[in-house]
């Protein structure tokens, strides 16, 4: 068996650009699909696949998954960047898909079989104020979900400019004469997504107190700091949230602040989840080996696909760390299915983030996993189990524009981590 072509497919059925890799073989009708979605730089990933990995892989045996992964990773000499990792991931997942199809086994069977029937998921409940958050939490609870992540006003909360809008001020805008309040911002020439770190940090413990006071403790609650706080403020929040028994507190610190996790662990018993920005094993090794986190939140395509994820899951199991793979809207249904197969096959699974799959996604990606009663269910098709309708995919072209939410700024205009 030989690889005859490796190509990228870009589509946006839900308004978010997804990058899919298709690996074709010389066996009639046999191909594999993988997720390579890096929404902030999708065209660069596509070029890496089409211009570099395609000529590199043509004529090679697709069953040698591990060898090909190492070859793709080392061939560029410089490695462990998100563009290259995503491109490699698309191929790696597609190779596992092919291997499953040849064996006539679902990927979870190929990986050792199921440890559970389905994967418990969590959904996102946001709101402008605590009552709206509570209403969204209750809605998910009534739909059968057992875990909900709660935010208020998005990551870090939302900040109004001094004229009371969220619009980027122009240089010709009138100057304000009143004093800036906690959630206002300066009339700044710097565009971006503004938030007030102190106001945000003070708002979250009362939010949890309000929600817990209304629904009790049966529902699992989570929160995502998304690196929006200085390290000591993140530690303070983790301590203040202890009475509300979070399932986990996500991304309290940035990947370049690993040493702060030791201080966080010493001072708080709130479970910690980390990893969606990781692209290099050096970023998660000390966190796992020193048991500084409780859940690994890696984005499968950002670390290079299923092959490194299997190693990471096994490494985490050794130290009692559970998996909670990243599953936002900027993961294709193929990527969500890959998450799910790992969830089913890995004993140290914790919880799975997931989105609502709209009808266009089901049409473009037949075999997309199904959400039922708070769990994600896989089909029993060979391989990853999700296909792509390329004609339908072409109806939803990429519409890329500069991303604003990753231009996070404090009220005075200082750029902060997203």
CATH number of 119-382: 3.20.20.120
Residue 166: pLDDT over 60: no
Q: Which member of 108, 140, 155, 195 is catalytic?
A: 155
**344 contacts 373 by C-beta, under 8 angstroms:** no
Neighbours of 364 (CB within 10 A): 27
Q: What is the pLDDT, as a whole number, of residue 184?
A: 58
pLDDT tens digits, one per residue of 290-322: 999 999 999 999 999 999 999 999 999 999 999
Residues 6+ apart with CB under 8 A from 176: 162, 163, 187
Confidence of residue 176 (pLDDT cuts 50, 70, 90): very low
Please give the average per-residue pLDDT across 16-30, as a whole number.
Answer: 97
Query: Which CATH class for the 3-106 domain?
Result: alpha beta
Residues 6+ apart with CB under 8 A from 406: 40, 193, 418
Q: What is the pLDDT, as a whole number, of residue 159?
A: 58
Residue 210: pLDDT over 70: yes
Three-state DSSP class for 199? helix
Q: What is the pLDDT, as a whole number, of residue 185?
A: 60
Is 226 tagged catalytic? yes
Is 108 tagged catalytic? no
The share of the chain scoring above pLDDT 70, in percent, equals 93
Please give the average per-residue pLDDT across 7-21, as a whole number.
Answer: 96
Q: Which member of 108, 140, 194, 226 is catalytic?
A: 226
Residue intervals in the chain for CATH 3.30.390.10 = 3-106
Neighbours of 141 (CB within 10 A): 17
Residue intervals in the chain for CATH 3.20.20.120 = 119-382
User: Quick one: angle between helices 65-75 and 306-318, nearest 10?
Assistant: 100
H-run or E-run covering 250: strand 248-250
Three-state DSSP class for 157? coil
């Amino acid at each position: 068996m030989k690889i005859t072509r490796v190509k990228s497919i870009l589509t946006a059925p839900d308004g978010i650009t997804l990058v899919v890799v298709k690996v074709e073989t010389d066996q009639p009708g046999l191909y594999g699909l993988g997720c390579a979605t890096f929404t902030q730089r999708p065209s660069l990933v596509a070029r890496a696949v089409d211009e570099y990995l395609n000529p590199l892989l043509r004529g090679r045996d697709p069953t040698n998954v591990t060898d090909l992964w190492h070859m793709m990773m080392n061939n560029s000499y410089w490695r462990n960047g998100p563009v290259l990792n995503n491109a490699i991931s698309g191929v790696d997942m597609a190779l596992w898909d092919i291997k499953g199809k040849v064996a006539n086994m679902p990927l979870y069977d190929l990986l050792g079989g199921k440890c559970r029937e389905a994967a418990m998921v969590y959904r996102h409940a946001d709101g402008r104020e605590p009552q709206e958050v509570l209403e969204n939490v209750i809605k998910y609870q009534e739909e059968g979900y057992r875990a909900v992540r709660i935010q208020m006003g998005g990551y870090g909360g939302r900040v109004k400019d001094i004229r009371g809008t969220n619009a980027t001020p122009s240089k010709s805008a009138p100057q304000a004469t009143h004093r800036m309040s906690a959630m206002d911002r300066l009339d700044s020439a710097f565009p971006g997504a503004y938030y007030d770190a102190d106001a945000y940090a003070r708002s979250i413990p009362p939010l949890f107190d309000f929600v817990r006071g209304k629904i009790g403790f049966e529902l699992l609650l989570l929160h995502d700091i998304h690196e929006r706080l200085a390290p000591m403020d993140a530690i303070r929040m983790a301590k203040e949230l202890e009475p509300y028994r979070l399932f986990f507190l996500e991304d309290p610190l940035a990947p370049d602040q690993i040493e702060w996790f030791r201080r966080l662990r010493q001072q708080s018993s709130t479970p910690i989840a980390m990893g969606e920005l990781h692209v290099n094993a050096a970023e998660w090794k000390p966190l796992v080996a020193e048991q500084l986190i409780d859940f690994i939140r890696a984005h499968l395509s950002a670390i290079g696909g299923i092959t490194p994820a299997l190693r990471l899951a096994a490494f985490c199991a050794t130290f009692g760390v559970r998996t909670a793979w990243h599953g936002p809207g900027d993961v294709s249904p193929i990527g969500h299915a890959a998450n799910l197969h790992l969830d089913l096959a890995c004993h140290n699974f914790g919880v799975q983030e997931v989105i609502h799959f709209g009808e266009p996604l089901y049409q473009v990606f037949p075999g997309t996993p199904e959400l039922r009663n708070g769990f994600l269910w896989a089909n029993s098709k060979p391989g990853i189990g999700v296909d792509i309708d390329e004609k339908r995919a072409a109806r939803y072209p990429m519409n890329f524009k500069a991303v604003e939410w990753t231009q996070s700024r404090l009220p005075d205009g200082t750029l902060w981590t997203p």
